Structure 1
Protein backbone atom coordinates (compact mmCIF):
# COMPACT_ATOMS: atom_id res chain seq x y z
CA UNK A 1 0.00 0.00 0.00
CA UNK A 2 1.35 3.39 -1.01
CA UNK A 3 -0.22 6.31 0.84
CA UNK A 4 0.23 9.99 0.05
CA UNK A 5 -0.87 12.52 2.67
CA UNK A 6 -1.84 16.08 1.78
CA UNK A 7 -1.70 18.39 4.80
CA UNK A 8 -3.56 21.65 4.18
CA UNK A 9 -3.24 24.90 6.16
CA UNK A 10 -6.33 26.97 5.43
CA UNK A 11 -5.29 30.57 4.54
CA UNK A 12 -8.19 31.73 6.72
CA UNK A 13 -7.50 29.20 9.47
CA UNK A 14 -5.19 29.14 12.50
CA UNK A 15 -1.50 29.99 12.15
CA UNK A 16 0.37 26.69 11.51
CA UNK A 17 3.32 28.08 13.50
CA UNK A 18 1.20 28.77 16.58
CA UNK A 19 2.48 27.04 19.71
CA UNK A 20 0.07 24.48 21.15
CA UNK A 21 0.95 21.94 23.83
CA UNK A 22 4.61 22.91 23.69
CA UNK A 23 5.18 22.84 19.91
CA UNK A 24 3.94 24.46 16.68
CA UNK A 25 0.54 23.29 15.41
CA UNK A 26 2.21 22.15 12.17
CA UNK A 27 4.76 19.99 13.97
CA UNK A 28 2.03 18.12 15.82
CA UNK A 29 0.09 17.52 12.60
CA UNK A 30 3.12 16.27 10.64
CA UNK A 31 4.35 14.08 13.50
CA UNK A 32 0.90 12.52 13.90
CA UNK A 33 0.67 11.57 10.24
CA UNK A 34 4.17 10.09 10.24
CA UNK A 35 3.51 8.20 13.49
CA UNK A 36 0.68 6.34 11.75
CA UNK A 37 3.36 4.45 9.84
CA UNK A 38 1.36 4.45 6.62
CA UNK A 39 2.25 7.79 4.96
CA UNK A 40 4.91 7.13 2.34
CA UNK A 41 5.10 10.78 1.35
CA UNK A 42 3.66 14.01 2.63
CA UNK A 43 2.86 17.26 0.82
CA UNK A 44 2.21 20.26 3.05
CA UNK A 45 0.47 23.38 1.73
CA UNK A 46 0.95 26.44 3.95
CA UNK A 47 0.43 30.21 3.55
CA UNK A 48 3.18 31.76 1.43
CA UNK A 49 4.04 34.23 4.23
CA UNK A 50 4.86 31.31 6.55
CA UNK A 51 6.61 29.09 4.01
CA UNK A 52 10.15 29.54 5.37
CA UNK A 53 9.16 29.06 9.00
CA UNK A 54 7.11 25.98 8.13
CA UNK A 55 10.01 24.40 6.26
CA UNK A 56 12.18 24.81 9.36
CA UNK A 57 9.47 23.28 11.57
CA UNK A 58 9.04 20.27 9.30
CA UNK A 59 12.77 19.63 8.95
CA UNK A 60 12.90 19.29 12.75
CA UNK A 61 10.29 16.50 12.80
CA UNK A 62 12.01 13.10 13.10
CA UNK A 63 11.40 10.99 10.02
CA UNK A 64 10.16 13.81 7.78
CA UNK A 65 13.32 13.93 5.67
CA UNK A 66 12.87 13.35 1.95
CA UNK A 67 9.29 12.12 2.42
CA UNK A 68 7.96 15.65 2.95
CA UNK A 69 7.54 18.51 0.49
CA UNK A 70 6.33 21.99 1.43
CA UNK A 71 4.61 24.38 -0.97
CA UNK A 72 2.62 27.60 -0.86
CA UNK A 73 -1.11 27.04 -0.56
CA UNK A 74 -3.72 28.45 -2.92
CA UNK A 75 -6.38 31.07 -2.35
CA UNK A 76 -8.64 28.54 -0.59
CA UNK A 77 -8.60 24.94 0.59
CA UNK A 78 -9.94 23.61 -2.70
CA UNK A 79 -7.08 25.14 -4.67
CA UNK A 80 -4.55 24.16 -2.01
CA UNK A 81 -5.68 20.53 -2.22
CA UNK A 82 -5.40 20.56 -6.01
CA UNK A 83 -1.86 21.96 -5.87
CA UNK A 84 -0.85 19.43 -3.23
CA UNK A 85 -2.35 16.54 -5.21
CA UNK A 86 -0.44 17.62 -8.33
CA UNK A 87 2.76 17.74 -6.28
CA UNK A 88 2.15 14.29 -4.79
CA UNK A 89 2.24 12.55 -8.18
CA UNK A 90 0.13 9.63 -9.37
CA UNK A 91 1.59 6.45 -7.86
CA UNK A 92 -0.36 6.32 -4.57
CA UNK A 93 -3.05 3.76 -3.81
CA UNK A 94 -4.59 6.01 -1.15
CA UNK A 95 -4.54 9.79 -0.67
CA UNK A 96 -5.25 11.28 2.75
CA UNK A 97 -6.34 14.92 2.93
CA UNK A 98 -5.78 16.37 6.39
CA UNK A 99 -6.38 19.72 8.08
CA UNK A 100 -3.43 21.30 9.94
CA UNK A 101 -5.99 22.67 12.41
CA UNK A 102 -6.66 19.08 13.58
CA UNK A 103 -3.15 18.27 14.84
CA UNK A 104 -4.02 15.64 17.45
CA UNK A 105 -5.67 12.90 15.39
CA UNK A 106 -4.43 9.58 16.82
CA UNK A 107 -2.21 7.51 14.49
CA UNK A 108 -4.70 4.63 14.79
CA UNK A 109 -7.42 6.81 13.24
CA UNK A 110 -5.14 7.74 10.34
CA UNK A 111 -4.41 4.05 9.72
CA UNK A 112 -8.10 3.13 9.92
CA UNK A 113 -8.93 5.68 7.21
CA UNK A 114 -6.13 4.50 4.91
CA UNK A 115 -6.96 0.82 5.42
CA UNK A 116 -10.66 1.39 4.66
CA UNK A 117 -9.80 2.96 1.29
CA UNK A 118 -7.38 0.15 0.53
CA UNK A 119 -10.17 -2.33 1.34
CA UNK A 120 -12.31 -0.87 -1.43
CA UNK A 121 -14.00 2.33 -0.23
CA UNK A 122 -13.93 5.28 -2.64
CA UNK A 123 -13.77 7.81 0.20
CA UNK A 124 -13.64 7.57 3.99
CA UNK A 125 -14.09 10.17 6.74
CA UNK A 126 -13.74 9.76 10.53
CA UNK A 127 -16.83 10.86 12.47
CA UNK A 128 -18.14 11.21 16.01
CA UNK A 129 -21.77 10.98 17.18
CA UNK A 130 -23.59 14.22 17.98
CA UNK A 131 -24.45 14.29 21.69
CA UNK A 132 -26.16 17.69 21.93
CA UNK A 133 -29.82 18.25 21.10
CA UNK A 134 -30.02 19.91 17.68
CA UNK A 135 -32.92 22.19 16.72
CA UNK A 136 -33.95 23.49 13.29
CA UNK A 137 -34.52 27.26 13.64
CA UNK A 138 -36.09 29.72 11.18
CA UNK A 139 -36.42 33.44 11.90
CA UNK A 140 -35.39 32.89 15.50
CA UNK A 141 -38.18 30.34 16.06
CA UNK A 142 -37.60 26.63 16.71
CA UNK A 143 -39.36 24.58 14.04
CA UNK A 144 -38.31 21.04 14.83
CA UNK A 145 -35.83 18.77 16.55
CA UNK A 146 -33.28 16.91 14.43
CA UNK A 147 -32.82 13.19 14.99
CA UNK A 148 -29.29 13.21 16.40
CA UNK A 149 -29.01 9.42 16.05
CA UNK A 150 -28.35 10.06 12.35
CA UNK A 151 -26.07 13.09 12.83
CA UNK A 152 -22.28 12.91 12.92
CA UNK A 153 -19.43 15.38 13.47
CA UNK A 154 -16.97 15.08 10.57
CA UNK A 155 -13.20 15.07 11.22
CA UNK A 156 -10.07 14.54 9.12
CA UNK A 157 -8.05 13.05 7.49
CA UNK A 158 -10.44 12.23 4.68
CA UNK A 159 -9.22 9.22 2.73
CA UNK A 160 -9.69 9.00 -1.03
CA UNK A 161 -9.02 6.69 -3.87
CA UNK A 162 -6.78 8.83 -6.12
CA UNK A 163 -9.18 8.95 -9.06
CA UNK A 164 -12.07 10.02 -6.82
CA UNK A 165 -10.02 12.81 -5.25
CA UNK A 166 -8.92 13.89 -8.73
CA UNK A 167 -12.56 14.37 -9.74
CA UNK A 168 -13.29 16.34 -6.54
CA UNK A 169 -10.35 18.66 -7.23
CA UNK A 170 -11.19 18.97 -10.95
CA UNK A 171 -14.58 20.45 -10.15
CA UNK A 172 -13.04 22.94 -7.69
CA UNK A 173 -14.55 21.42 -4.56
CA UNK A 174 -13.00 21.38 -1.10
CA UNK A 175 -12.15 17.70 -0.38
CA UNK A 176 -12.30 18.37 3.37
CA UNK A 177 -15.91 19.56 3.37
CA UNK A 178 -17.54 18.95 -0.05
CA UNK A 179 -17.51 15.19 0.35
CA UNK A 180 -18.64 12.88 -2.48
CA UNK A 181 -21.87 10.93 -2.11
CA UNK A 182 -19.91 7.69 -1.95
CA UNK A 183 -18.08 8.63 1.26
CA UNK A 184 -18.23 6.11 4.11
CA UNK A 185 -17.25 6.48 7.77
CA UNK A 186 -14.92 5.15 10.43
CA UNK A 187 -14.83 6.07 14.12
CA UNK A 188 -13.29 9.44 14.92
CA UNK A 189 -11.64 10.49 18.18
CA UNK A 190 -12.29 13.25 20.77
CA UNK A 191 -8.74 14.67 20.50
CA UNK A 192 -9.19 15.26 16.74
CA UNK A 193 -11.17 18.44 17.26
CA UNK A 194 -10.45 21.47 15.06
CA UNK A 195 -8.47 24.15 16.90
CA UNK A 196 -9.87 27.50 15.80
CA UNK A 197 -10.33 29.33 19.11
CA UNK A 198 -8.48 29.64 22.42
CA UNK A 199 -11.23 27.54 23.99
CA UNK A 200 -10.62 24.74 21.46
CA UNK A 201 -6.91 24.78 22.32
CA UNK A 202 -7.67 24.64 26.05
CA UNK A 203 -10.00 21.67 25.56
CA UNK A 204 -7.47 19.81 23.40
CA UNK A 205 -4.66 20.38 25.88
CA UNK A 206 -6.86 19.22 28.77
CA UNK A 207 -7.73 16.02 26.87
CA UNK A 208 -4.08 15.38 26.09
CA UNK A 209 -3.05 15.96 29.70
CA UNK A 210 -5.70 13.52 30.84
CA UNK A 211 -4.48 10.88 28.40
CA UNK A 212 -0.83 11.48 29.24
Structure 2
Protein backbone atom coordinates (compact mmCIF):
# COMPACT_ATOMS: atom_id res chain seq x y z
CA UNK A 1 0.00 0.00 0.00
CA UNK A 2 1.38 3.40 -0.97
CA UNK A 3 1.52 6.42 1.36
CA UNK A 4 1.82 10.14 0.65
CA UNK A 5 2.82 12.59 3.36
CA UNK A 6 1.56 16.17 3.33
CA UNK A 7 3.95 18.19 5.49
CA UNK A 8 2.33 21.48 6.51
CA UNK A 9 5.19 23.94 7.12
CA UNK A 10 3.11 26.99 8.06
CA UNK A 11 4.83 27.82 11.36
CA UNK A 12 7.36 30.59 11.92
CA UNK A 13 10.90 29.67 12.89
CA UNK A 14 11.23 26.34 11.06
CA UNK A 15 14.61 27.58 9.81
CA UNK A 16 15.93 27.72 13.40
CA UNK A 17 18.93 25.41 13.79
CA UNK A 18 18.87 22.77 16.53
CA UNK A 19 21.69 20.24 16.85
CA UNK A 20 23.11 21.21 13.47
CA UNK A 21 19.86 21.01 11.45
CA UNK A 22 16.88 23.28 10.95
CA UNK A 23 13.59 22.30 12.54
CA UNK A 24 12.09 21.72 9.09
CA UNK A 25 14.97 19.39 8.17
CA UNK A 26 14.41 17.47 11.44
CA UNK A 27 10.71 17.14 10.63
CA UNK A 28 11.40 15.82 7.14
CA UNK A 29 14.06 13.43 8.41
CA UNK A 30 11.60 11.92 10.90
CA UNK A 31 9.03 11.27 8.18
CA UNK A 32 11.57 9.77 5.83
CA UNK A 33 13.17 7.63 8.56
CA UNK A 34 9.83 5.90 9.16
CA UNK A 35 10.39 4.09 5.86
CA UNK A 36 6.68 3.92 5.00
CA UNK A 37 6.21 7.10 2.96
CA UNK A 38 6.47 6.97 -0.82
CA UNK A 39 5.99 10.65 -1.67
CA UNK A 40 6.06 13.99 0.19
CA UNK A 41 4.41 17.31 -0.48
CA UNK A 42 5.72 20.16 1.66
CA UNK A 43 3.20 23.02 1.83
CA UNK A 44 4.99 26.32 2.47
CA UNK A 45 3.47 29.80 2.87
CA UNK A 46 4.39 32.09 -0.03
CA UNK A 47 6.13 34.54 2.30
CA UNK A 48 8.38 31.76 3.69
CA UNK A 49 9.13 30.03 0.38
CA UNK A 50 12.52 31.72 0.00
CA UNK A 51 13.82 30.39 3.33
CA UNK A 52 12.02 27.05 3.55
CA UNK A 53 12.31 25.75 -0.03
CA UNK A 54 16.14 25.44 0.03
CA UNK A 55 15.85 23.36 3.22
CA UNK A 56 13.50 20.93 1.47
CA UNK A 57 15.56 20.81 -1.72
CA UNK A 58 18.68 19.95 0.27
CA UNK A 59 17.12 16.61 1.23
CA UNK A 60 18.32 13.63 -0.88
CA UNK A 61 15.89 12.58 -3.62
CA UNK A 62 13.80 15.75 -3.46
CA UNK A 63 13.23 15.89 -7.20
CA UNK A 64 11.96 12.31 -7.36
CA UNK A 65 9.81 11.88 -4.30
CA UNK A 66 9.26 15.30 -2.80
CA UNK A 67 7.46 18.42 -4.02
CA UNK A 68 7.42 21.93 -2.53
CA UNK A 69 4.08 23.69 -2.86
CA UNK A 70 3.53 27.40 -2.22
CA UNK A 71 0.23 27.82 -0.35
CA UNK A 72 -1.67 30.80 0.98
CA UNK A 73 -4.72 31.12 3.20
CA UNK A 74 -5.73 28.97 6.15
CA UNK A 75 -4.15 25.71 7.17
CA UNK A 76 -7.25 23.88 5.95
CA UNK A 77 -6.73 25.53 2.56
CA UNK A 78 -3.07 24.50 2.52
CA UNK A 79 -4.06 20.91 3.27
CA UNK A 80 -6.62 20.99 0.46
CA UNK A 81 -4.11 22.36 -2.04
CA UNK A 82 -1.49 19.82 -1.03
CA UNK A 83 -4.00 16.97 -1.32
CA UNK A 84 -5.22 18.12 -4.72
CA UNK A 85 -1.64 18.22 -5.97
CA UNK A 86 -1.70 14.40 -5.65
CA UNK A 87 -4.71 14.02 -7.94
CA UNK A 88 -2.68 12.40 -10.71
CA UNK A 89 -1.42 9.63 -8.40
CA UNK A 90 -3.31 7.07 -6.33
CA UNK A 91 -2.28 6.58 -2.71
CA UNK A 92 -3.87 4.29 -0.14
CA UNK A 93 -2.88 6.30 2.95
CA UNK A 94 -2.48 10.05 3.39
CA UNK A 95 -0.30 11.29 6.24
CA UNK A 96 -0.76 14.84 7.53
CA UNK A 97 2.35 16.11 9.30
CA UNK A 98 2.82 19.34 11.25
CA UNK A 99 6.38 20.51 10.61
CA UNK A 100 6.31 22.40 13.92
CA UNK A 101 6.34 18.96 15.58
CA UNK A 102 9.86 18.52 14.32
CA UNK A 103 10.93 15.62 16.55
CA UNK A 104 8.14 13.08 16.09
CA UNK A 105 9.87 9.69 16.34
CA UNK A 106 9.75 7.53 13.18
CA UNK A 107 7.96 4.83 15.17
CA UNK A 108 5.04 7.16 15.83
CA UNK A 109 4.76 7.89 12.10
CA UNK A 110 4.77 4.17 11.35
CA UNK A 111 2.14 3.45 14.01
CA UNK A 112 -0.54 5.73 12.55
CA UNK A 113 0.15 4.56 9.00
CA UNK A 114 -0.04 0.91 10.08
CA UNK A 115 -3.36 1.55 11.83
CA UNK A 116 -4.91 2.84 8.60
CA UNK A 117 -3.38 0.04 6.57
CA UNK A 118 -4.97 -2.37 9.05
CA UNK A 119 -8.44 -0.97 8.34
CA UNK A 120 -8.93 2.16 10.47
CA UNK A 121 -10.33 5.11 8.48
CA UNK A 122 -8.05 7.44 10.43
CA UNK A 123 -5.48 7.35 13.22
CA UNK A 124 -3.66 9.84 15.42
CA UNK A 125 -1.11 9.66 18.27
CA UNK A 126 -2.29 10.72 21.71
CA UNK A 127 -0.95 11.06 25.24
CA UNK A 128 -2.90 10.55 28.49
CA UNK A 129 -3.78 13.65 30.48
CA UNK A 130 -1.88 13.67 33.77
CA UNK A 131 -3.15 16.96 35.22
CA UNK A 132 -6.46 17.26 37.04
CA UNK A 133 -8.97 18.92 34.70
CA UNK A 134 -11.75 21.14 36.10
CA UNK A 135 -14.83 22.62 34.46
CA UNK A 136 -15.67 26.22 35.32
CA UNK A 137 -18.69 28.42 34.75
CA UNK A 138 -18.74 31.87 33.11
CA UNK A 139 -17.55 33.40 36.39
CA UNK A 140 -14.52 31.15 36.61
CA UNK A 141 -15.94 29.07 39.47
CA UNK A 142 -15.19 25.34 39.43
CA UNK A 143 -18.36 23.35 38.87
CA UNK A 144 -17.12 19.84 38.07
CA UNK A 145 -14.09 17.58 37.70
CA UNK A 146 -13.45 15.72 34.47
CA UNK A 147 -12.49 12.04 34.58
CA UNK A 148 -8.97 12.32 33.19
CA UNK A 149 -8.72 8.56 32.61
CA UNK A 150 -10.77 9.14 29.44
CA UNK A 151 -8.98 12.34 28.34
CA UNK A 152 -6.16 12.48 25.81
CA UNK A 153 -4.05 15.20 24.23
CA UNK A 154 -3.80 14.87 20.46
CA UNK A 155 -0.49 15.05 18.62
CA UNK A 156 0.49 14.52 14.98
CA UNK A 157 0.87 13.08 12.37
CA UNK A 158 -2.69 12.28 11.40
CA UNK A 159 -3.12 9.37 8.99
CA UNK A 160 -6.28 8.62 7.02
CA UNK A 161 -7.69 7.16 3.85
CA UNK A 162 -8.01 9.48 0.84
CA UNK A 163 -11.81 9.44 1.17
CA UNK A 164 -11.64 10.77 4.75
CA UNK A 165 -9.37 13.63 3.69
CA UNK A 166 -11.46 14.37 0.60
CA UNK A 167 -14.59 14.77 2.74
CA UNK A 168 -12.73 16.92 5.29
CA UNK A 169 -11.43 19.20 2.54
CA UNK A 170 -14.96 19.57 1.17
CA UNK A 171 -16.06 20.69 4.65
CA UNK A 172 -13.10 23.04 5.06
CA UNK A 173 -11.70 21.15 8.06
CA UNK A 174 -8.14 21.31 9.34
CA UNK A 175 -7.56 17.67 10.28
CA UNK A 176 -4.53 18.60 12.38
CA UNK A 177 -6.92 20.26 14.85
CA UNK A 178 -10.46 19.15 13.89
CA UNK A 179 -10.88 15.38 13.90
CA UNK A 180 -13.59 13.50 11.98
CA UNK A 181 -16.01 11.02 13.54
CA UNK A 182 -14.02 7.78 13.86
CA UNK A 183 -10.32 8.01 14.64
CA UNK A 184 -8.15 5.21 16.04
CA UNK A 185 -5.59 6.29 18.63
CA UNK A 186 -2.01 5.08 18.98
CA UNK A 187 0.57 5.87 21.64
CA UNK A 188 2.08 9.33 21.30
CA UNK A 189 5.55 10.41 22.40
CA UNK A 190 6.92 13.18 24.63
CA UNK A 191 9.24 14.36 21.84
CA UNK A 192 6.32 15.12 19.54
CA UNK A 193 5.48 18.44 21.20
CA UNK A 194 4.59 21.39 18.96
CA UNK A 195 7.43 23.90 18.91
CA UNK A 196 6.00 27.41 18.92
CA UNK A 197 8.28 29.26 21.34
CA UNK A 198 11.98 29.35 22.23
CA UNK A 199 11.08 27.56 25.46
CA UNK A 200 9.45 24.70 23.49
CA UNK A 201 12.59 24.33 21.39
CA UNK A 202 14.76 24.26 24.52
CA UNK A 203 12.55 21.55 26.07
CA UNK A 204 12.69 19.43 22.90
CA UNK A 205 16.46 19.80 22.69
CA UNK A 206 16.81 18.79 26.34
CA UNK A 207 14.70 15.69 25.76
CA UNK A 208 16.83 14.70 22.78
CA UNK A 209 20.04 15.23 24.72
CA UNK A 210 18.69 13.11 27.58
CA UNK A 211 17.85 10.26 25.20
CA UNK A 212 21.29 10.35 23.59
CA UNK A 213 22.98 10.39 26.99
2:44 is equivalent to residue 46 of structure 1: yes
CA distance in 2, matches of 1:17, 1:133: 36
Question: TM-score with structure 1 length normalisation?
Answer: 0.95
2:148 is equivalent to residue 148 of structure 1: yes
Aligned residues: 210
**How far off is 1:3 after superposition?**
0.3
Residue 117 (structure 2) aligns with: 118
Residue deviations 1:2-61 (CA, integer Å, cap 9, x gap): 000000023xx3332222333211111111101111110000011112213222111222
CA distance in 1, matches of 2:2, 2:46: 29
Q: Runs of 5+ in structure 1 lacking a partner?
A: none
**How far off is 1:144 after superposition?**
1.3
CA distance in 1, matches of 2:136, 2:70: 40
CA distance in 2, matches of 1:113, 1:65: 26
The 1:73–1:16 alpha-carbon spacing in structure 2 relative to 1, beyond 3 Å, is farther
**How far off is 1:65 after superposition?**
4.0
2:128 is equivalent to residue 129 of structure 1: yes
Residue 77 (structure 2) aligns with: 79
- Aligned to 2:207, the other structure's residue is in SS state helix
CA distance in 1, matches of 2:191, 2:123: 19
Query: Structure 1 runs of 4+ off > 6 angstroms?
Result: none
The 1:65–1:36 alpha-carbon spacing in structure 2 relative to 1, beyond 3 Å, is farther
**How far off is 1:141 after superposition?**
1.2
Residue 100 (structure 1) aligns with: 99
Question: TM-score with structure 2 length normalisation?
Answer: 0.94
Residue 174 (structure 1) aligns with: 174
2:53 is equivalent to residue 55 of structure 1: yes
RMSD: 1.2
Q: Runs of 5+ in structure 2 lacking a partner?
A: none
Residue 25 (structure 1) aligns with: 23
CA distance in 1, matches of 2:124, 2:72: 23
In terms of mean alpha carbon deviation, does 30-39 or 62-71 score higher? 62-71
